[in-house]
Structures are given as C-alpha cells and as structure tokens.
Amino acid sequence: MNDPISQMITHIHNAGRRGKDSVTVGFSKMKLAIAEILEREGYIKTLAKKGKKIGKTIEISLAGSNRPIHGIERISLPSRRMYSSVSKLYKVQGGHGLVILSTPKGLLSHIDAKKEKVGGEVLMKIW
C-alpha cells in the first residue's frame, strides 16, 4: 500500500473491529496531526510517540465503547484529489461524524474549518 494515511486508518478501523485496546502505526507528521484531531474529538483515548529517529511510531489507544468507530473512509487519494470550499462542507451521518481536511491553516476538522472559514483537501471522514 503506497498511501500511508489509508494504511493508518485501516489499522485503526480493523483494531476497533477486533476489540483491540491499542494499535501502533509508523510515524509521520501528517499521521500525528490526524491522530491528535481524533483524540480531541473523542474517537481515540490517548496517543504517544515512541522511539527515536529511526523506527519512530505512534501508539494509539482506542476509545472503545465510549465513542466507537463505526466507519472510516478515505476521500482524497493520491490518484484522485478531492477539494471542498467552506460553503460545501457537509455533515457526516447527520452530524454524528467528522471530516478531516488539509487546509492552509493545517489539518482541521470540518467544524474548525467552518469556524476559520477555510476549505481544503478532504482527507477522510469518520463516523
């Protein structure tokens, strides 16, 4: 798999489906920013960076029954980029989900992007 973000969300989704308490994924700044948004919104309990320069990982503790992850979908792919203006941002699952965007102001949830009045590349949605 050449898309590290898709790989990360697949690991998180599969770990949640199997009832695992935590999952470890390879480190990148983008993955860390996505995990921080998921932690802030309550989809994961905690996250921790492990290791030094080589072999650095992110340890993600899943929220479990507090806010279970029913589904994660990658929207913008390396071969098919999807962008959205702030006026076209939509609610996921009737407001029970979250969209993560890559904006000029960094990675933001769709809620924060509306507050900041900025659009961008729609990376993924989670519900």
What pTM was estimated for this model as a whole?
0.88
Residues 20-68 pLDDT 10s: 999 999 999 999 999 999 999 988 999 999 988 888 999 999 977 666 7
Q: Same structural domain for residues 87 and 113?
A: yes
For residues 84 and 108, membership in a common domain is answered with: yes
Indicate the Cα dihedral angle 3, 112, 58, 77, nearest 10°.
0
Domain of 80, CATH number, reads: 3.30.1490.10
CATH number of the domain within which 24 lies? 3.30.1370.30
Is the residue at 67 inside a domain? no
78-120 confidence digits (pLDDT tens): 899 999 998 888 777 777 889 999 999 999 999 999 999 999 9
Question: What domain range is 12 assigned to?
Answer: 4-62
CA 44 – CA 3 distance, rounded (Å): 21
Domain total in the chain: 2
In DSSP terms, 45 is beta-bridged to: none
Alpha carbon separation from 58 to 22, 66, 70, 90 (Å, rounded):
10, 21, 22, 30
